[in-house]
A = this chain, B = another copy of it.
Amino acid sequence: MTDQTQQFASDNYSGICPEAWAAMAEANQGHQRAYGDDQWTARASDHFRQLFETDCEVFFAFNGTAANSLALASLCQSYHSVICSETAHVETDECGAPEFFSNGSKLLTARTESGKLTPDSIREIALKRQDIHYPKPRVVTLTQASEVGTVYSPEEVRAISQTCKELNLNLHMDGARFSNACASLGCSPAELTWKAGVDVLCFGGTKNGMAVGEAILFFNKALAEDFDYRCKQAGQLASKMRYLSAPWVGLLQDDAWLRYAGHANQCARLLAELVADVPGVSLMFPVQANGVFLQLSEPALERLRDWGWRFYTFIGAGGARFMCSWDTEEARVRELAADIRRAMA
């Protein structure tokens, strides 16, 4: 049935974690009011406010495509533009969703260092054009952890938000793997977001052990005006909302979210360590979250595939991405590492 070699293809190949499942099972009792007017949704929202130590506005969407696109659309108009990194998921893997939800906002890609935007790269794009014939930059979106498995420190986020303020840009954080960044940095969610100047965070649940569902947190509450209507109109208001919110209760209470993220990160570091001395293997990016990007020879990649391993190779010549998830088994990591060594031999 399930092919265990698939474990490193993507963190969204994983299933629902026990805590989320148990909460769903508990929520699956009798009738509940629809559209978020239920106790589970209230509880999940409260959990978020406690976790982030602030009275933020909390919304739930079905997936990351929608969560990020809706959030970006709420931060700008169609004739504005969004600055993102060249590798940003919103640019490379959302089939034009941000442009669709915003009715045309253009994404402007900026240079990155280790997959991360910098104040300089943002400034460069923001100031390149200031005439009416080009969409006016209004938003910066950064991905935490980044698409190449690196993380922004609170200081880096703060420096970026400072630049945003100077340039009149709103700051959005795509947190599909926000939990991995928190676990990696040992920072509080608050330190990594609103305390560092983030206006809106999309906190990913799917890759963290849920079936569906992302949370959208507005720290800048003025920007959340009528956001509930926006979600509804865009097909992102669940009628049986409890099934999106209850899993969050399961994940957030007792810190399962953080433990699982820490586990995934640890597996990634383990993999990197185990292959560090393999001749011909080189690490493409520092391993700061749950992804490991390795430069391998083409024949080695071929052999690994033949042996059944699944991974992505969209990063460039010879680059392979191995993602660890909440349920990655250490034994598999060791097997994979051994096979990489064998494949490169």
Inter-chain contact B6/A32, CB cutoff 8 Å = yes
Contact residue among B2, B61, B229, B239 (Cβ-Cβ distance under 8 Å from A235): B61
Query: DSSP majority for the A interface?
Result: loop
**Which of chain A's residues 60-117 have a Cβ closer than 8 Å to chain B?**
61-66, 69-70, 77-81, 92-97, 99-106
In the complex, whether A253 has a CB less than 8 A from a CB of chain B is: no
In the complex, whether A288 has a CB less than 8 A from a CB of chain B is: no
Q: Mark A219-233, 1 if CB is under 8 A from B, else 0.
A: 000000010111011
Inter-chain contact A237/B78, CB cutoff 8 Å = no
**Which of chain A's residues 237-282 have a Cβ closer than 8 Å to chain B?**
237-240, 243-244
Q: In the complex, A244→B7 CA distance in Å?
A: 21
- Chain A interface residue count, CB cutoff 8 Å, equals 75
**Which of chain A's residues 91-147 have a Cβ closer than 8 Å to chain B?**
92-97, 99-106, 132-136
Stretch at the interface among A13-21, A41-49, A185-193, A298-306: A13-21
Q: In the complex, A135→B65 CA distance in Å?
A: 14
Binding site for B on A (CB under 8 A): 1-4, 6-7, 9-10, 12-16, 21, 24, 27-35, 39, 61-66, 69-70, 77-81, 92-97, 99-106, 132-136, 206, 211-212, 226, 228-230, 232-240, 243-244
| 3 nearest CB pairs, A to B | A66-B235, A2-B30, A100-B104
13 contacts between A and B (CB under 8 A): A1-B29, A1-B39, A9-B33, A63-B237, A70-B235, A78-B103, A79-B226, A92-B133, A95-B135, A99-B105, A104-B233, A211-B240, A212-B212
